[in-house]
Amino acid sequence: MEDLSIKELLRSKEEKRILTGRISGIEDEYYKYKNENIPCAIVWYKEIKILIPSTHLGTKTINKSMIRGMLGAEIDFIVMEIDTTSNIAIASRKDAMELRSKIELPKLKVNDTVNVRILAVGVKHIIVELYGKEVIIKADNLQHTYIVNCKDIYSPGEYIKARIKEIDINKNIYELDAKCLIENPYKNIRKYLTEYGEYTGKVIAFPKKNSGVIVQLDTTNITCLTRVPARFNDYPHYLDKVLIKISEIKENKKMIYGYLMRIIR
Q: How confident is the model at residue 1 (pLDDT cuts 50, 70, 90)?
A: very low
Please state the rounded mean pLDDT for residues 162-174: 96
Average pLDDT over residues 139-163: 96
Q: What is the pLDDT of residues 75-119, one digit of tens each?
A: 999 999 998 788 899 999 999 999 999 999 999 999 999 999 999
The model's pLDDT over 57-67, given as tens digits with 9 standing for 90+, comes to 998 777 788 89
pLDDT higher for 3 or 236?
236
Q: Is a pLDDT exceeding 70 seen at residue 2?
A: no
- Total-model pTM: 0.86
* DSSP secondary structure, 78-98, as one string: EEEEEETTTTEEEEEHHHHHH
Percent of the chain scoring above 70 in pLDDT? 96
